[in-house]
């Protein structure tokens, strides 16, 4: 995602890939629209959210 110039990303992939992709998008500083569920495990949803709150996130 980084270096593409894209301002956002829509994630419509298999459920078990959502959280990892969301973190990559947040690290690129782009906006994110993600198909549910955000993650398949209990700990998974927190990682993309925490990354988006750090400086340089969405």
**Domain at 24, CATH number:** 3.40.50.720
Dihedral pair phi/psi, residue 21, rounded to 5°: -65, -40
Is the pLDDT assigned to residue 57 strictly greater than 70?
A: no
Q: Each residue of 11-30: pLDDT tens digit?
A: 899 988 888 888 888 888 88
**Structural domain tally of the chain?**
1
Q: Is residue 18 part of a domain?
A: yes
> Which carries the bigger pLDDT value, residue 53 or residue 22?
22
In angstroms, the Cα distances linking 54 to 1, 35, 43, 45 are 18, 22, 18, 15
Query: Is there a contact between 19 and 45 (Cβ–Cβ < 8 Å)?
Result: yes
Question: What is the pLDDT, as a whole number, of residue 42?
Answer: 65
- How far apart, in whole angstroms, are the C-alpha atoms of residue 45 and residue 23? 10
Q: Is residue 1 part of a domain?
A: no
Output the CA angle 47-53-5, nearest 5 degrees. Answer: 95
Residues of the domain holding 32: 8-53
């Amino acid at each position: 995602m980084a270096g593409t110039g894209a301002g956002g990303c829509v994630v419509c992939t298999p459920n078990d890939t959502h959280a990892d992709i969301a973190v990559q998008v947040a690290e690129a500083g782009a906006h994110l629209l993600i198909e549910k569920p955000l993650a398949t495990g209990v700990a998974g949803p927190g990682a993309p959210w925490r990354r988006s709150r750090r400086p340089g996130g969405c």
